[in-house]
Amino acid sequence: MTGTAVSTSAQARRRAAAADVWLFPGLLLLLILAAIVAAGIGAAGIPLSRLPAALGLATSASDPVLLARDQLVLWSIRLPRIAMAGTIGALLAAGGTIMQGLFRNPLADPALVGVSSGGALAAAATIVIGDRLLSGIALPFEMLPAAAFIGALATTLLLHAIATTSGRTSVAVFLLAGLAISALAGAALGLLVFIADDRQLRDITFWMLGSLGGATWNKAAVLTPFLLALLVLIPAIARGLDLMVLGEAEAFHMGVEVERLKRLSIVLVSAMTGAAVSFAGVIGFVGIVVPHLLRLAIGPGHRRLLPASACAGAILLLLADTAARTLAAPAEVPIGVLTALVGAPFFLVLLLRQRGLVGL
């Protein structure tokens, strides 16, 4: 009797472990395929046959002028953009996953509850007000991620303070407060638009709609440490986030240092969201769609969900960005508009299915 019972639990775990063996290689393969598609397609197309040569992986027998053009397009436009799209997709999806675990709420997404807007507002304020105070001095481009991080952090802390009473976070208050904060940040952004000059206006519009158009290797390099921080911290927060689904009190009873976990997660989400927003603007719904689909496929345990979200987020944003720059070529559809077009209906369906949980 006990013998068969032991084997069922062990068997279930072995099955999950066997699935794990395929999960990450599979996701990485998809990521590489998405990158190849993104590298080849665009205003100046590079057919698959010319791609190895342009990458320097093979010697080319073709026209050297064509090769030079391919290399220029690939190395100074496509590849930095691929690197940025992948990194930002990973940061947004993993940020959503962490926030949902922390607030025990599958509908929490940094973009939806105003954390991205808070970051965008701080970045926009830096552009407009920084320009006025330091007229003539070019701001170092790292200033914007720093400002966006501070804006995102302040917004997350405010949201947490509003939605939490005596250790319990109300899902409904959380979403509604997020809505109010989003509206407030939107109004403040509108005010900045009103006082901005033409060049500032273009920059701010870019934040409000979201775009990967300004991708450079430098920006991709600035984003990398945020992704590394996430990967390094996953083991430290995964069990805590799992136990948090039972509530803060239960997590404490099972040995989680709840306040430490919350501080770490909030700073991490704010930093990741701030970094993503500062270079690509507000791109919503990646942080909701990706973790939700993955939870259905691989279960809600954060030890696998977090790295898988990062991977799948990178794939999704790479594909979305490729679509954004080819659908209306040579013009670009703002990627934030595109993700909202797909993600908002998805969110509504999710909301209807979670109605009981939200208590609305």
Residues that bind another protein in the complex, under the rule CB under 8 A: 1-2, 5-6, 8-10, 12-13, 101, 104-106, 239, 242-243, 245-247, 249-250, 252-258, 295, 299-301, 357
Shortest approach of another protein to residue 301 CB, angstroms?
A: 7
Least separation, in Å, of the C-beta of 167 and another protein? 9
Exposed/middle/buried for 351, CB within 10 Å: 0-12, 13-18, 19+?
A: middle
Residue 84: other Cβ atoms inside 10 A: 26
Q: Return the biggest CA–CA distance within the chain.
A: 80
Q: Using an 8 Å Cβ cutoff, are 210 and 281 in contact?
A: yes
Q: How far is the CB of 245 from another protein (least distance, A)?
A: 5
Residue among 231, 360, 290, 312 nearest 110 (CA):
290
Give φ, ψ of 208 to 5 degrees: -75, -25
Q: 215 exposed, middle or buried (CB, 10 Å; 0-12, 13-18, 19+)?
A: buried
Terminus-to-terminus CA distance in the chain, angstroms? 46
Burial 144-167 (b: 16+ CB within 10 A, else e): bbbbbbbbbbbbbebbbebbbeee
Minimum separation from the CB atom of position 112 to another protein (A):
17
CB of 342 to another protein, least distance (A): 23
Hey, what long-range contacts does 323-332 have (CB within 8 A, 24 or more apart)?
324/211, 324/212, 325/42, 325/43, 325/213, 326/41, 326/42, 329/42, 329/43, 330/43, 332/211, 332/213
Nearest CB to another protein, comparing residues 131 and 242: 242
The residue length of the chain stands at 360
CA distance 304 to 20: 8
The nearest distance, CB 294 to another protein, in angstroms, is: 11
Instruction: Considering the complex, state which of residue 69 and residue 295 has its C-beta at the smaller distance from another protein.
Output: 295
CA-based nearest residue to 124, from 206, 184, 198, 222: 206
Q: Report the residue number, 63 or 250, with the smaller CB distance to another protein.
A: 250
Q: Which two tokens stand for residue 66?
A: 């064509």
- When the beta carbons of 41 and 176 are compared against another protein, the nearer one is 176
Least Å from the CB of residue 9 to another protein: 5
Shortest Å, Cβ 308 to another protein: 14
- Of 11 and 62, the one with the shorter C-beta distance to another protein is 11
Q: Which is nearer to another protein, 6 or 221 (CB)?
A: 6
Closer residue to another protein, CB minimum distance, 31 or 243? 243
User: Is the Cβ of residue 71 or residue 170 nearer to another protein in the bound state?
Assistant: 170
